[in-house]
Structure 1
Amino acid sequence: MRNFGNLAVLGFAIAIVNNSLIPDVWAFQSPPAVTVVDRQTKAQGADVVAELTRESENRETINKQTVSSFPSLFWEINNLPKISYSQWLEVLARRPDSDNTARETAAQPEDIARFDQIVQYAKQQNLPDRAIGQIIQAIGDNFLGKPYAEGLLDKSGAEKLIITLNKFDCVLFVETVLAISRGVAVKDYDYQNFVNRIEQQRYVNGKINGYCSRLHYFSEWINDNQKRQTVENITTQLGGVPMNKTLNFMSQHRSSYPQMVKDEATYQCIVNQEADLAKTTVNYIPTNRIKSVYSQLKPGDIVAVATDVKGLDVTHTGFVYRNADGNLGLIHASPAGAVTVAYDLQRYISRVESAIGIVVARAIDPR
């Protein structure tokens, strides 16, 4: 799961494999390869049984619908070079800037054109003068209606840095909007720097180095990005309570992850990462208490949907969205089909199967 897979931050999905329901898990991509392509991303992950909340175009009607997606949780899974976990860590420590896998940049013209359009919009609206959370909401608005797609990070055999501005899963949407917004805040409108920010957010220590370097579990994604002062986990400040569960969904559902099935080193690497994650406490705000913290939330805060699925931390993610009337909702890449806004945050979470509450992280202003 992006340590989620991108580790778990994905959308709920139902897959039936060998007559058993398998929940989707998220996963980020790894090798120092940058391939900018449309994202049809299935968060990989684990077998997650979940009914996804569907939203109508008017953002009001929510219908429950089953979405099937094979191994995906927030992140997608790709092949990891055959090295042990300890060797992998040693490489990162010894050669932080080295390319252990050929980095390839294959930006699609439509993605670059889309990026330029957003940059022009940011300049015209004087977004650099706004707070980082307001920038995030404004940039997110630019993607409303863009299609939801699964499994984009796992399309190729080797881990590659996938970039897309035309299709998203829930984690890719969060990563993309956050990366663009951080650039806008400091008036950095260079496309390659945007790509670099995606890599920094998606991989352990900010460097792509195979499948296992992707932050699969979203809790791990938050922890790793907090170390680099990209985001701050504010769940505890908001009165969060311990989740009290062992995060081992990926290792316990090894057969759902092709990279782990084929490579023992990759499997052991994930097991070790889960062991490290067990040393930290994951807190969440129970669903029935979400509305009580509305006054402390800000537009652009990252929201991850905490789940009661065994071994998994979260199953979906998006941003707090302030509606025109001031009410707080959620802008997200919805498994129902597109980037959309759920009008009320607590109501949305309460209608997501297996959801128990939310984890909240706040983007740190880079200025």
Structure 2
Amino acid sequence: MRIFLSLAVLGFAIVGVNNSLIPDVWAFQSQSATGYVVERQTARQGADLAFSLTGKSKNLEITNKQTVSSFPSMLWDFNNLAEISYSELLKVLARRPESNNTERETVAQPEDIAPFEKVVQYAKQQNLHDRSIGEIVQAIADNFLGKPYAAGLLDESGEEKLIVTLNKFDCVLFVETVLAIARGIAVQDYDYQNLVNRIEEQRYLNGKMNGYCSRLHYFSDWINDNQKRQTVENITAELGGVPMNKTLNFMSQHRSSYAQMVKDEATYQCIVSQEAELAKTTVNYIPTNRIKSVYSQLKPGDIVAVATDVKGLDVTHTGLVYRNADGNLGLIHASPAGEVTVAYDLQRYIRRVESAIGIVVARPIDPRER
């Protein structure tokens, strides 16, 4: 369970944050601690933070069991703080040392704020909020061209952490991040913390992080859950998709490939239960040789996942429909080849993906129309 820790400091809301084919089940499911991880912090860290900002300390007895609920008592000195900028505050948070008194380490990466602020500035200058949600998605995706691809990011930590990064991506993190930013811009919400909230909503079952099993590991599950919350709509069937007719059990059948399931029987059984629920749903896909025939029905910003013939798995990669300058439809994605890039033609790209049989398509729902 994550807890957001906010401190009122001269009107600033301070939030402490940290952060190839196995198959890309997702290329999607992993993110390193170079990003932001929103986590629980103890009262002792609050006292240490106050000392970092004020240079003063107070002799208080703190036990390891004191958590955020007792944190306000640590704000004894904050009303007398000199003015400090948000960027300076982040630098202070980033300097916090590791401590055995924390349930989870909280690490802020000030360098990740810059790309977000740059995108926000661009969005305001271009009045992106006046465009359709799909156009916003493509415009935001453009801002990350050339950012490096990094596989296996979310699973590097032993415990589930809410990680957000704007400096490198796997294929799903790219889609999630662009979608979350675009949804905020559509309603002129430029707050970074709300971006973090939206990513959590998109990534986890019922929109809340609650351990490894709460992550939406299968793309079909990701679509189903986000469709329930009106974040996206699965349009594969209406585009002429056909049933995949396969049992999704790749994770349980390859337990040894997932450290979290190897060491925890309860987590393994939870994944088995999720797969059983998925068996009750029909997964449709558009065969590769039919993709070009639906170009006229696709829109920039549509989410595309590469359907696969790998046993037990639904998709191996994902990206976003991209309208090139000449009108041709391609795919912008965090490519395992090395960086965020644009494949000029969608169908031609899918043909070159190993084990690909077609695509699954989900369309972002405009939050202004909900």
- Would you call these one fold, judging by a TM-score over 0.5? yes
Q: Over residues 93-128 of structure 1, what are the superposed CA-to-partner deviations in whole Å (9 max), with x where a residue is unaligned?
A: xxxxx9xx9676533111111111100000000000
Distance 1:339 1:104 in 2: 30
SS in 2 for 1:137: helix
- Asked if structure 1 preserves the Cα contact closer than 8 Å seen for 2:27 and 2:152, the reply is no
Tell me the C-alpha RMSD between the 2 structures: 2.2
The aligned residue for residue 294 of structure 1 is 295
Query: Is the counterpart of residue 76 in structure 1 residue 35 in structure 2?
Result: no
- Aligned match of 1:64: none
Which structure is richer in relative contact order (CA contacts within 8 A, separation 6 or more)?
A: 1
CA displacement at 1:36 relative to structure 2? 4.3
Q: Aligned partners of 1:324 and 1:251: how far apart in 2? A: 44
Give the corresponding residue for 2:322.
Answer: 321
Q: Which whole-Å CA distance do the structure 1 matches of 2:332 and 2:196 have between them?
A: 22
Distance 2:278 2:216 in 1: 11
Query: d(CA) in 2 for partners of 1:118 and 1:287?
Result: 34
Q: Alpha carbons of 1:278 and 1:209: their partners in 2 closer, same or farther (altered >3 Å)?
A: same
How far, CA to CA, are the matches of 2:356 and 2:158 in structure 1?
32
Letter in 2 for 1:147: P
TM-score normalised per structure 2: 0.75
**Whole-angstrom distance in 2 between the partners of 1:332 and 1:77:** 16
CA contact (8 A) 2:26 2:217 kept: no
* Matches for 1:259-278 after TM superposition, within 5 Å: 259-278=260-279
Contact 1:32–1:103, Cα closer than 8 Å, also in 2:
no
Q: Contact 2:205/2:215 (CA < 8 Å) preserved in 1? A: yes
Partner of 2:47: none
Is 2:31–2:170's contact at 8 Å kept on the other side of the alignment?
Answer: no
* Cα distance change on mapping 1:254 and 1:35 into 2, 3 Å: farther
Q: Tell me the distance in 1 between the aligned counterparts of 2:185 and 2:138.
A: 12
Report deviation, 1:195: 0.2
Which runs of 5 or more residues in structure 2 are unaligned?
5-15, 33-68, 70-101
Equivalent residues, number: 289
- How far does residue 200 in structure 1 lie from its aligned partner after superposition? 0.2
Q: What's 2:284 paired with? A: 283
Partners in 1 of 2:103 and 2:217 — Cα distance? 22
2:107 counterpart residue number: 106
Structure holding more helix per residue? 2
Cα distance in 2 for residues equivalent to 1:140 and 1:292: 25
CA distance in 2, matches of 1:216, 1:244: 19
Shift of 1:274: 0.1
Structure of larger gyration radius:
2
SS at 1:167's partner residue? coil
What per-residue deviation string (whole Å, max 9, x for no partner) do you get for residues 52-94 of structure 1? xxxxxxxxxxxxxxxxx9x86421399xxxxxxxxxxxxxxxx
Q: TM-score, normalised by structure 1?
A: 0.75
Alpha-carbon offset, residue 152 of structure 1: 1.4
Q: 2: distance between equivalents of 1:192 and 1:74? A: 22
Pair 1:162-2:188 in alignment: no
Quote the Cα distance in structure 1 between the aligned partners of 2:205 and 2:163: 16
> How big is each residue's C-alpha offset from its partner over 1:143-191, in whole Å with a ceiling of 9 and x where there is no partner?
0000000121112111000110000000000000000000000000000
Matched to 2:203, the amino acid is R
Describe the SS at the equivalent of 1:276: helix
3-state SS in 1 of match to 2:154: helix
Alignment pair present for 1:230 and 2:184: no
